[in-house]
């Protein structure tokens, strides 16, 4: 059985809304099941669940050594605000048992540092971790809290969104220990503050623009062809 190991310490977050730091070590078993262990810092942590455990709810994902009064919430991109917080109680678990699935992110706030081991099956469309990764396309736009579908180290914008960035799109990152945020915006073929990357078990805020409509380009192309033909006919007269 092939084993792919991941070791990382890249930190991501959202300025004013949230910040996090996650260091991670993981093993993923090709085509079957795996795990990754997150070191979650005191304060805000933007997290991801990149393995399917059948029931992908908080009480299934984050359990055991979670500190009392830890909170978790998800992002509502339509209202541009967080959903009501779920609070962890050591005797009863999470007050709201949110689901956290492939490609999604969440904000976990902890009063103290702890580790959590995430277990489950790798996304079935990614059967071979040593082969190419073809991510699903994110068709939504606006400010989205996203993660890579699979636990790969150094996931790029393409790995998360399923396409290359467009002018004006941005990703906000944060160094967890210092809580220093950096917004990297894509303009004219490059990122102004370095290409953002996510590591295993991490999510980040992506500000995405609507994708261009193919029909618009088709109509534009047809109009250009028609205009050129008109000029050719006019010259022959």
pLDDT at 129: 66
pLDDT at 16: 37
User: Would 229 be classed as within a structural domain?
Assistant: no
User: Would 223 be classed as within a structural domain?
Assistant: no
- The model's pTM is 0.79
User: Would 213 be classed as within a structural domain?
Assistant: no
Residue in the block written with tokens 């082969």: 131
Q: How far apart are the first and last CA of the chain?
A: 75
Which H or E run includes 233?
Answer: helix 214-236
Per-residue model confidence as pLDDT tens digits over 53-95: 889 999 999 988 999 999 999 999 999 999 999 999 999 999 9
How many structural domains are present in the chain?
Answer: 1
Range of the domain at 18: 3-208
Residues 223 and 94: their CA atoms lie apart, in Å, by 58
pLDDT at 14: 37
User: Would 220 be classed as within a structural domain?
Assistant: no
pLDDT at 162 over 70: yes
At 184, the pLDDT band (50, 70, 90 cuts) reads: very high
User: Would 150 be classed as within a structural domain?
Assistant: yes
Query: Pick the residue with more confidence: 48 or 4?
Result: 48
Residues 38 and 57: their CA atoms lie apart, in Å, by 17
Contact, 35 vs 27, CB < 8 A?
Answer: yes
User: Would 68 be classed as within a structural domain?
Assistant: yes
Report CA-CA distances (Å) from 99 to 36, 53, 93, 133, 186: 18, 11, 14, 24, 31
User: Would 231 be classed as within a structural domain?
Assistant: no
pLDDT at 214: 61
User: Would 111 be classed as within a structural domain?
Assistant: yes
């Amino acid at each position: 059985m092939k084993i792919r190991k991941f070791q990382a310490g890249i930190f991501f977050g959202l300025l004013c809304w949230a910040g996090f730091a996650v260091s991670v070590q993981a093993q993923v078993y090709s085509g079957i099941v795996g795990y990754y262990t997150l070191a979650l810092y005191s304060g805000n942590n933007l997290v991801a669940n990149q393995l399917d455990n059948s029931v992908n709810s908080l009480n299934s994902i984050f359990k055991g050594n979670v500190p009392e009064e830890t909170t978790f919430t998800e992002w509502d991109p339509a209202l541009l605000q967080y959903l009501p917080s779920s609070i962890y109680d050591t005797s009863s678990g999470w007050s709201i048992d949110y689901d956290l699935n492939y490609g999604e992110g969440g904000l976990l706030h902890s009063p103290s540092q702890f580790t959590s081991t995430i277990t489950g099956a790798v996304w079935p469309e990614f059967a071979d971790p040593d082969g190419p990764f073809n991510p699903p396309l994110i068709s939504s736009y606006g400010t989205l809290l996203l993660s890579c579908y699979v636990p790969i180290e150094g996931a790029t914008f393409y790995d998360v969104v399923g396409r290359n960035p467009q002018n004006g799109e941005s990703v906000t990152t944060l160094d967890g220990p210092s809580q220093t945020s950096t917004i990297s915006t894509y303009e004219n073929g490059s990122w102004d503050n370095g290409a953002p990357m996510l590591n295993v078990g991490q999510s980040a805020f992506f500000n995405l623009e609507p994708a261009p409509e193919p029909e618009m380009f088709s109509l534009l192309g047809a109009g250009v062809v028609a205009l050129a033909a008109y000029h050719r006919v006019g010259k022959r007269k």
